Structure 1
Amino acid sequence: MRREIRLPLTASGRLDRALADALGLGRATVKRAFQLGEVRVRGRRARASDAVEPGALVEIDVEAPAGPPEPEPEAPLAVLVETPRLVVVDKPAGIAVHPLAPGEGGTLANAVVARFPECAGASPEPREGGAVQRLDIETSGCVLFARDAEAWEALHSRFSLREVEKVYLALVVGRVASGGVSSVPLAQRGGRSVPVPDPETEERLLAKGLRPRPAETHWEVARRYETHTLLRVRIVTGVMHQIRAHLANLGHPVAGDALYGGAASELPGLRRQFLHASRLAVDGPDGARVEAMSPLPPELEAVLERLGAAQ
């Protein structure tokens, strides 16, 4: 579907965000159009991170909105917590939380709506299938789904107000001396999060239409190995790739994370990033505390056993 719009003279910041606001579309829909090269400004192909040109004429082809995920009853699904208003499920590594395009399958949401059909109508964007949060494809662990629209709004508000306890296990490269906290802001650029440690960096990014977001990551040492450290990580905010970007910025990238750690993150026998959402705790829509724990997957347990045996 081709759309044409002239950006308001008051528009500012990144082009993708300004377009989503001006067109009244979800940011995922606009992001997809950029990925497909279907956005042009003054006749020239544009990037999502381009700075807004107030008053510019923009042409954009957007895909038809995706409907609810197609139920896949044969897909495995591990339910950690189930209440009348929500479910917390255990996401395996290697699958997305929900579809991005019409007809896409093989996601966690496809399995969830097969067992909990009411989740399909819970989220404002039907394709999300009631998912209140997301994890990276290679990250495993707790994911929260709402079972009705009112519950989704209440739970989403908890995340926005930073009232959700989110704990991860992360194996990182090197020996970490002690626990700590990073509050370095992060800006999204080219599919990754970029640390913004000083005003000069922030000024350069703002000039490119990139706006740093507050990010706060706490960690403590769970176990040290000869060449790696297992951390228990708690995040207060929820910026894209937050844990991965903050730990890499500290010089301790997550093992198996080629995007932020490069070759230094490689570990024999590890075929994914070692990041697992082990605990999720939140006050449910009715006020009752909901707590979910996800055990470390066998493939990650095996990595720790090998590291321990090598000491």
Structure 2
Amino acid sequence: MDRVREVIVPEGLDGARLDKALVELVPGASRAKVRKAIEAGGVRVGGRIRAKGEIVRAGDALSFEDVDLVSQEVPPLPEPEAKLDVLFESKDVIVVNKPAGQPCAPLRASETGTLANALIGHYPELAGVGYGPREPGLVHRLDTDTSGLVVVARNHDSFSNLKEALFAERIHKTYLLVCEGEGLADTGEVSFPIANHPKDSRRVLACVHPRDVMRNAPRPAHTRWMVEARNGRWALVRARAPRALRHQIRVHFAALEHPLAGDTLYGGPAELPRQALHAASVALPGSFEVASVLPEDMQALFDRGT
């Protein structure tokens, strides 16, 4: 008989969907296997079967069978010759600077050219560390077309500690973005909760209206910003998002009617071949503090002013 396991939802995942919470909490869990297990009734919340979109709360007990969730995926193909821009390294942590256009992890076993391929090529000990085999050591991810800093754990203890710090919002991250500046306040905050888009899996939905909240079971999301400079048409903005849900900054600025330059998915002007978003700094007090300069393409766009 398969071993039944139980995990407790931490404060950092309060309000998360059941399927998302399990992927975060169970090392090696496959998103597809989690969904199938929930649909088959193999996952219980407080002893009761729940749907994958149900919201879980801090302290909820999630029980399941190991075999239902653990992925049989293989690690990425190592690419020891691949370029890897390491900005910080200790015995427990690596912080790398990912270029725009590079996926964080492969979708298929044969895929190469991702950050994960480079990481496993340069640091073979990362195999088996992280959320699953395809994501060696990755504590968080960036969209393919977002550039900037990614934190990588070098061992299991470090991964556990960094994941806990991320959920508890003790890892401080800032992002630089370029958007149209007219009408944008010098400082501000937006707290529209975010849900999966009901009609387009490529996008998320900022639940601006109360009816959106009732229909879509969104997660809380908070983004603060400060304009660092203005030049003609553009504003260079520093944004802070403690947990940074998928597409959070992109959809929040779109909801403010200031979509990012290049972010055509959310209505942004097509001035770049990618969204003008860069993960510019990351810090864990007492452990590391790393900054990355604005990429050339974003700097050139801002300097042009038109």
Confirm or deny: 8 A CA contact 2:33 2:70 kept in the other structure: no
Q: Secondary structure at the match of 1:303?
A: helix
Return the match for 2:195 from 187, 190, 214.
187
- 1:55-80 per-position Cα deviation (integer Å, ceiling 9, x unaligned): xxxxxxx9973222211012111101
3-state DSSP of counterpart to 2:185: coil
- Does structure 1 conserve the Cα–Cα contact (< 8 Å) formed by 2:126 and 2:136? yes
Q: Distance in 1 between matches of 2:225 and 2:53?
A: 35
**Per-residue deviation, 1:304:** 2.0
Quote how far apart the aligned CAs of 1:140 are: 0.3
**Residue 104 of structure 2, aligned match among 97, 116, 122:** 97
Measure the CA separation in 1 of the matches of 2:209 and 2:94.
41
Unaligned residue ranges in structure 1 (runs of 5+): 1-12, 34-38, 41-48, 53-61, 206-210
CA shift digits 1:98-124 (9 cap, x unpaired): 123322221101111111111122214
1:161 counterpart residue number:
168
How big is each residue's C-alpha offset from its partner over 1:205-249, in whole Å with a ceiling of 9 and x where there is no partner? 2xxxxx200101010011112222110111122211000010100
1:142 partnered with 2:149:
yes
- 2:135 alignment partner, one of 128, 142, 161: 128
1:171 matched residue in structure 2: 178
- Alignment equivalent of 2:303, drawn from 294, 302, 305: 305
Query: Residue 287 of structure 2 corresponds to which residue in structure 1?
Result: 289
- How many angstroms apart in 2 are the aligned matches of 1:158 and 1:245? 25
Judge conservation of contact 1:19–1:30 (CA < 8 Å) in 2. Answer: no
Paired residue secondary structure (2:121): helix
Amino acid paired to 1:265 = P
Q: Is the 8 A contact 2:176 2:279 kept in 1?
A: yes
Structure 1 counterpart of 2:239: 233
Which one of 257, 273, 281 corresponds to residue 263 of structure 2?
257
SS in 1 for 2:127: helix
Local SS of the residue matching 1:128: coil
Q: CA deviation at 1:15?
A: 9.4
Contact 2:234 2:302 in 1 (8 A): no
Query: Would you say the 8 A contact 2:100–2:146 is kept in 1?
Result: yes
| Higher radius of gyration, 1 or 2 | 1
Task: Check 1:159–1:247 CA distance in 2 against 1; reply closer, same or farther (3 A cut).
Answer: same
Q: Using the TM superposition, give the Cα deviation of residue 17 of structure 1 relative to its aligned residue in structure 2, in angstroms.
A: 6.0
Distance 2:75 2:226 in 1: 39
**Which range moves more in the overlay, 126-135 or 294-303?**
294-303
Indicate the residue corresponding to 1:26 in structure 2. 29
For the residue of structure 2 that corresponds to 1:127, the secondary structure is: coil
Q: 2:126 aligns with which of 111, 119, 129?
A: 119
State the TM-score, normalizing by the size of structure 2.
0.76
Given residue 188 of structure 1, which amino acid in structure 2 is its aligned partner? N
Give the TM-score normalised by structure 1: 0.75
- Once residues 164 and 52 of structure 2 are traced to their aligned partners in structure 1, the CA distance between those partners, rounded to angstroms, is 30
Q: Is the 8 A contact 2:33 2:71 kept in 1?
A: no
Q: Please tell me whether the aligned partners of residues 66 and 100 of structure 1 are also in contact (alpha carbons under 8 angstroms).
A: no
2:207 corresponds to 1:203: no
Partners of 1:243 and 1:145 lie apart in 2 by 22
Q: Matched residue of 2:304: which SS?
A: helix
Distance 1:220 1:51 in 2: 34
Q: How many residues align?
A: 261
- Equivalent residue letter for 2:189: V
What is aligned with 1:44? none
